Structure 1
Amino acid sequence: MAQEHINPEQFVLEEEIDHVRLITLNRPRQLNVISSKVVSLLAEFLEKYEKDNDVELVIIKGIGRAFSAGGDLKMFYDGRTSDDSCLEVVYRMYWLCYHIHTYKKTQVALANGIVMGGGASLAVPLKFSVVTEKTVFAMPEASIGFHTDCSFSYILSHLPGHLGEYLALTGAKLNGKEMVVAGLATHFVPSEKLPALEKCLLSLNSGDEDAVRSVIKEFSVDVQPDEESILHKQSTINKCFSEESVEEIIKSFEAEASNEGNEWITAVLKGLKRSGPTGLKITLRSIREGRKQTVPECLRKEFRLTINILRTVISGDVYEGIRALTIDKDKAPKWDPPVLDKVSSEELDLVFQPFKEELELQIPAEGDAYRWEGKFENSAYQSLNAK
């Protein structure tokens, strides 16, 4: 008999179905944004399930047009005058990210809608991440003066070539098919089949990975990116986004825009140049460091960056970006400094500098986080760009 537990605010729904637990993000009007309450509930549920020998399979899904649209920007904006007002939720979110990467039970994400920002950490790292034709993925943090967070300096840095830098700096969107091909999701299932898939997973009543994979495969279809997909532009992306600095990347990208067939670059460049200079530089450095870091190392670094950015150690751009996007909605942020060459490497060092050990994110230095890049083993992306 299924038991449904609804918390008073109904932000997260919990259902117990024999050996399966179904978590549903239930803030459709807010695109299932990850608030402090949601973070706490998710952490509570996942920890409880992991300790329960009766639980074998955990399914996470969203209601409405979004799986999860990332963090609650207004919460951070409202807390900007209080030095530590958001410290606890940031800490809890990074612990949740680590927990998801190292989770002992089989997890399945049914991501039928927007999968953006920190909310993507509830889908992409899972052993099974199912997407549909309605799924849209993006990491747009740099555009508001922030940085690529919630383990994505690790995930994006491990994408083939320099696709990670491209996605992090431009905030470019990928659809469900592109996510599967690139290795950011494991299966593509048409949205009309998603209810039936969920029902079969519940009926399976098991966390056996081979059995779960077999059930999902029955509903999934093989996909290839559309002809105009950015995934067909890997040579151009590698050439431009392998440059050492953001300034050099933009210069190289501008040069490529004049070549026949590269008309797509113009719009991307326009968005890139509107983004916060400080956020862009922090993001590029973080992604580059991520290539040589473990998941725990990336999470500790990102926690550091998040706290320092929220505390405006070198710039208040994140609050200006949030104001322009969600508060006044004028989409005209006034960055400080306004240009890339005014952001020095010495200033960047300040936000990357380690805290005293007792102030760092307290997660195991190594642990048994599975190697996320294993998703590439069956990815079509490698063969796509080997032609």
Structure 2
Amino acid sequence: MANSDEPVVIGEVAGNVRLITLNRPRHLNVISPETVSLLAGYLENWEKDENVELILIKGAGRAFSAGGDLKVFYGGKDTKDSCLEVVYRMYWLCHHIHTYKKTQVALVNGIAMGGGASLMVPMKFSVVTEKTVFATPEAAIGLHTDCGFSYIHSRLPGHLGEFLALTGTRLNGKELVAAGLATHFVPSEKLPELEKHLVSLNKGDKDAVKSLIEEFSSEVQIDASSILNKQSIIDECFSKDSVEEIIESFEAASLKEGNGWIGPVLKGLKRSSPTGLKITLRSVREGRKQTLSECLKREFRLTINILRRIISDDMYEGIRALTIDKDNAPKWDPPSLDKVLDKDLDTVFHPYEAHLELQVPESEESRWDGKYENSAYATLKVSEV
């Protein structure tokens, strides 16, 4: 258990291997501005270091990472203080992880949600256990599925991506492997030994790393009740053009025999921010036709416009209800889906001037070389965008 004097991210050296530990276990390793800065620094330096071949990342305690520290955003709601910088750096970090030149392995033995999952899914190898819990629940509190997940979810089979993004449904370790969101399932009791062997391997050869992980991994068979076995219903309902039509179709499906699982999911969907749901559906749908860089640029734009309350205060209200007052009774504005107008959504999605967009490379082979410090965002505040 980390104490307050310990760093939020620990970087260790072991021959040609580097180990990152997310180290805020009492807070489920949520991602703070300091976490983003340290992660970006380690990864950038190690990518350039010829002596580094393999990167391992894990979480301390019972979580890998529960995602972004929502209180950071809520703290700036009145002053419009710059959460912009950490958002910018986080999306840069996401792009960097997706396109990293060296072999990375995520060892995920616990919660991996939202932005925390973005440190797992894009890795060359992502190892999960029976304790792993994944979700992208941002839409429910008035945010949107971000950190590259409009790109990832839009590429899942059928309309599973829309389902996960809109409902925040949780997947376990075996389901993650079955859905292609993780590469290997390893029982949690074997994970420490796997880590030791990866360190001893002392090289980043992909075939050698894969072979070693497979020695510890188990074949995956999902339960009969798994949401992944409901693909036909999900595709039927979540292929509809609008959130309203999706809910209507889902309600109709819930009345059929054997579909009792839909009730709780539908209840959560109806309690979610109408604005968050509509932004999220459109974002994932646009993601299908866009590159990773284009998706991250759009996500950045959406997040900043949400922070600026362009059409709604819902994100701040959602954070208040979930983490500040903890009354779980948000008052959404607009209060219903029919009040979230297309023209308002157009405003949130509208591109910025080129120099104000997220400046990630279009080439998937490009790397961050410090452009952030020289960009317009080094000094701008949220209120100025």
* TM-score bin, normalised by smaller chain: over 0.9
Matches within 5 A, 1:346-385: 346-368=343-365
Measure, in 2, the Cα distance between the counterparts of 1:315 and 1:215: 49
Residue 109 of structure 1: aligned partner: 106
One-letter code aligned to 1:185? A
Whether the aligned pair in 2 keeps the contact of 1:39 and 1:96 (CA below 8 Å) is yes
In the alignment, what sits opposite 1:256?
A: 253
Task: Tell me the residue number matched to 1:297.
Answer: 294
RMSD of the TM alignment (CA)?
A: 1.1
1:337-360 per-position Cα deviation (integer Å, ceiling 9, x unaligned)? 000000011000111010111111
Letter in structure 2 aligned against 1:225: I
Aligned to 2:375: none
| Count of residue pairs the alignment pairs up | 364
2:136 aligns with one of 131, 134, 139: 139
1:175 aligned onto 2:172:
yes
Q: Which residue of 1 aligns with 2:227?
A: 230
Q: Distance in 1 between matches of 2:55 and 2:123?
A: 10
Which residue in the other structure is 2:37 paired with? 40
Q: Which residue of structure 1 lines up, in the alignment, with residue 330 of structure 2?
A: 333
- Tell whether 2:280 aligns with 1:283: yes
Partner of 2:120: 123
Counterparts of 1:339 and 1:109, CA distance in 2: 39
Note the C-alpha offset of 1:10.
1.6
Whether 2:61 is the aligned partner of 1:64: answer: yes
- Tell me if the contact between 1:143 and 1:170 (Cα under 8 Å) persists in the aligned partners: yes
Equivalent residue, structure 2, for 1:153: 150
SS state of the match for residue 13, structure 2? strand
Asked whether the 8 Å contact 1:7–1:13 carries over to 2, the reply is no
Is the Cα–Cα contact under 8 Å of residues 108 and 128 in structure 1 kept in the other structure? yes
Offset of residue 7 of structure 1:
11
Residue matched to 2:372: none
Quote the residue 2:184 is aligned against.
Answer: 187
Deviations 1:59-90 (A, max 9, x none): 00001111011000001000112334201000
Cα-to-partner distance string for 1:189-229 (whole Å, 9 max, x where unaligned): 00000000000000000000000000000000111111110
Q: Give, as a single letter, the amino acid of the residue that structure 1 aligns with 2:169.
A: A
SS in 1 for 2:20: strand
Give the counterpart of 2:201 among 200, 204, 222. 204
- 1:158 is paired with a residue whose SS is coil
Q: 1:12·1:24 contact (CA, 8 Å) conserved in 2?
A: yes
Give a deviation string over 1:283-314, Cα, whole Å, max 9, x none.
Answer: 00000001111100000000000000011011
Alpha carbons of structure 1 residues 100 and 186: separation in structure 2 relative to 1, 3 Å:
same
Amino acid corresponding to residue 25 of structure 2 in structure 1: P
Q: Among 74, 82, 85, which residue is 1:85 paired with? A: 82
For 1:203, what is the secondary structure of its paired residue? Answer: helix
1:308-348 Cα distance to aligned partner (Å, 9 max, x none): 00110110100000000000000000000000000011000
> Which residue in the other structure is 2:383 paired with?
none
Q: TM-score under structure 2 normalisation?
A: 0.93
Deviation at 1:8, TM superposition (A): 5.6
Q: Deviations over 1:121-160 (max 9, x none)?
A: 1000000000000000000001101000000000011000
Aligned partners of 2:80, 2:59: CA distance in 1, in Å?
Answer: 32
**Aligned partners of 1:101, 1:82: CA distance in 2, in Å?**
33
> Counterpart of 2:309 in 1: which secondary structure?
coil
Point out where structure 1 has 5 or more consecutive residues left out of the alignment.
1-5, 370-387
Give the Cα–Cα distance (whole angstroms) in 2 for the partners of residues 92 and 124 of structure 1. 18
User: 1:2-55 CA distances to partner (integer Å, 9 max, x unpaired)?
Assistant: xxxx99642111110010000000100100000000000000000000010000
1:320 partner SS: helix
Deviations 1:88-116 (A, max 9, x none): 00000011001001100100000000000
Is contact 1:294-1:366 (8 Å) kept? no
